[in-house]
Amino acid sequence: MPPTIDVIFDFGSPNAYLAGKVLPAIAERTGATVNLIPCLLGGIFKATNNRSPGEAFGEVKGKLAYEGLETRRFVAKHGITGFRMNPNFPVNTLLIMRGLIAARRAGVGDAYLAAVERAMWEDGEKMDDPEVVRRVLDAAGLDSAALIAATQDPDLKAELVANTEAAVARGVFGIPTFFVGDEMFFGKDRLGQVEEAAAEVSPARAPARRPAPGRAPGWPRRR
């Protein structure tokens, strides 16, 4: 049976965006299905008494500068183009995370995911402003009015809360977090271990190959 890689996801994490550029090649090499699970990073932080790196390490000399260096190395290694830190960071993602669930229900999840990620981590849009969200979605050919209206559905709101609570119950404390079976891996720098774990479940797959320079696709289509 092909392996599944569960991805605990929130648009507010730049590292989740970066991981999404690498996962398609991992899925191709291992035959894995990538299961993107919308959650609220803020809710995870609150439930686990965690804090963002800026809050946790802001007073540690050299720590955040080194984190920036590691990000630049990751971007260069995987040939990721277009990425830049959002000048509005941190962004409240409640609306756009509910919107992702709404878009999936409407059958336009892939287009929504691509449009919002591009707006967040390439174009520097302020994606906690409903008017900006409307403009971004309309420009992508999506029905912004219908999607934003759907975010007020009580069942949809409950789904996002349930996803977040379930992630915490699995041991999640931050994003991106990945699961292969019951094995948990935190952070984009653990993607090599994620691939190894997926390959163990799918031993017939060809040995791992490094992606061609400059190849940085988006998330695999939801299966």
DSSP state for residue 31 in the 8-state scheme: T
Q: What is the pLDDT of residue 202?
A: 74
Q: Identify the helix (H) or strand (E) that includes residue 28.
A: helix 14-30
Q: What is the pLDDT of residue 223?
A: 43
Point out the least confidently predicted range of 84-98, 145-159, 175-189, 197-211. Answer: 197-211
Q: Residue 92 in 3-state DSSP?
A: coil
**Does the pLDDT value for residue 214 go beyond 70?**
no
Q: What share of the chain is helix, strand, coil (3-state, %, to 5)?
A: 50, 10, 40
Token look-up 């349930």 returns 162
Q: Can you give the C-alpha Rg of the chain in angstroms? A: 17
Q: What is the pLDDT of residue 204?
A: 53
**Does the pLDDT value for residue 66 go beyond 80?**
yes
Q: Which residues contact 56 (CB under 8 A, 6 or more apart)?
A: 50
- Distance separating alpha carbons of residues 63 and 73, to the nearest angstrom: 15
- Looking at per-residue pLDDT, the higher value among 210 and 26 belongs to 26
In the chain, domain spans = 4-201
- Distance separating alpha carbons of residues 149 and 143, to the nearest angstrom: 10
* CATH level 3 topology of 4-201: Glutaredoxin (3.40.30)
- Looking at per-residue pLDDT, the higher value among 144 and 217 belongs to 144
pLDDT in tens, 134-168: 999 999 999 999 999 999 999 999 999 999 999 99
Residue 8's Cβ-side half-sphere holds a number of Cα atoms within 13 Å equal to: 30
Average pLDDT over residues 173-192: 97
**One-letter amino acid of 156:** L
